[in-house]
Each structure stands twice: as C-alpha cells, then as structure tokens.
Amino acid sequence: MQKLNVIYEDNHIIVVEKQPNIPSQADKTEDIDMLTIIKEYIKEKYNKPGNVYLGLVHRLDRPVGGVMVFAKTSKAASRLSDQVREKTFKKKYLAVVDGKFENMTGTLEDYLYKDERNNISKVVGKEKKNAKFAKLDYEVLAYNEIKDLSLLRINLHTGRHHQIRVQLSHSGHSIFGDQKYGTRGQGKQIALWAYELTIMHPITKEEMTFKCLPESNGTWCILRDLEIK
C-alpha cells in the first residue's frame, strides 16, 4: 500500500497530504491516484469488505502537492461541496516565483479562458465568450537575491483551471518549475504547494484549519528559517 500522510481523520472526513505528481483522481494515465490510495488505506485500517465510499470535493493539479480533504460519507461530501460553491471553503498556497515584486502585497484580477483541447488556460478580455473572472491576493514572504526568486503566500478568491499558474505567469512572475506556463526551472518540480485549508466541519459545524508544508529543500530551501503562519 502506498504511504499516506494522514493529517486528520474522523468518521466523516479525512485530511491528507497529497504528494506532487499523484493525480487527485484516476485519469487516462492509469497511474495510482489519491482516491484509490485513501480507499485502500481505509479498507485496510478498518478491515472493510467490498467498495469503500470516498467523496472527492476538490482537486489539486497533478504536479502540485499539499493538503486535501476527502469525504467519508455522502452527507459530508454534499455539505463540503456546498462550501466550495459558496466560497467558504478556503485554500492558501505557497509558490516560488520568478523575479522581485515592487509591492509586498497585491491582488491579481483577470479573465481566464480554458482551452479544453490543449488543457491550458489563458488571460483574455472579459468580452470573450466563456471567459471567467479570476481573483487572487498575494503576499511576498521572502526574496532570494542570488536566485532572483520570491516566495509568495496566495489566497484564492476563485477556483479557475490552472488559475494561480496562469495569473502569475501573465503578471511576469511565473512559478519556478512550471512546465506549461513557466520560463525557469524547466525539468524541475513545480514550486506550488497548497499549504492551508479551512473548512466548516460538515457535521459539527466547527471551523477547522489544516496545514502542511513542503520539505525545505531544493527550490523550497527559501522556506528555511521562516515561520509560516
């Protein structure tokens, strides 16, 4: 069974760390995915016969790692999906990006169009058919002058396809290691990580925040000696 880092678990939800390059759910590659890994974990831990129910309520792009929550009951899945739709389901990311920022905080607002055939998104004018509004806030946490790389904390207001990657690339600060939208770090792992997740527990209604940081090596060595809140 694939090793799984379980951050929190009860009868209704399970919160885990997704490793980079594992799909959130099965895709055409037929590589092992998070849904399958967690189902196997539950089956083995609780000695459950037959199929195990597990609800996927949000996704992370395959190359991106970080914290994810899955529902262990259909009621939990429905209520968490409502939170995603109502934007009370909050995700924060860390990213290492190209260049230095003039301002330590900022907001990016764009309209994005998803090219289904090529599985990419691009910034377009708002008048373009099927363009969707995208908004995020960023805060610069650190800057490495030698490598000319900045560490950002990102707060998503909308959840568009490849949103963070596209908006940062369009602003001239592409994510290091982004094979689709980046300029630097080709062949390296993308430096984008979903580090914080806040939800309302689907049954108890308690607000819960879960955190998970990448290991501070390689590109993420910029994290060393920083206390990420």
228 within domain boundaries: no
pLDDT tens per residue across all 229 residues of the chain = 678 999 999 999 999 999 999 999 988 888 899 999 999 999 999 888 888 999 999 999 999 999 999 999 999 999 999 999 998 999 999 999 999 999 999 999 999 999 999 999 999 999 999 999 999 999 999 999 999 999 999 999 998 999 999 999 999 999 999 999 998 988 889 999 999 999 999 999 999 999 999 999 889 999 988 888 7
170 within domain boundaries: yes
User: Which residues are catalytic, by number?
Assistant: 61
Our count of domains for the chain comes to 1
Q: How far apart are CA 72 and CA 76, in angstroms?
A: 7
Question: What DSSP designation does 154 have?
Answer: E
83 within domain boundaries: yes
Return the CATH number at 95: 3.30.2350.10
How many Cα atoms occupy the beta-carbon half-sphere of 208 within 13 Å? Answer: 21
Q: How far apart are CA 52 and CA 75, in angstroms?
A: 15
202 within domain boundaries: yes
Q: Which of 45, 94, 102, 97 is nearest to 67 (CA)?
A: 94
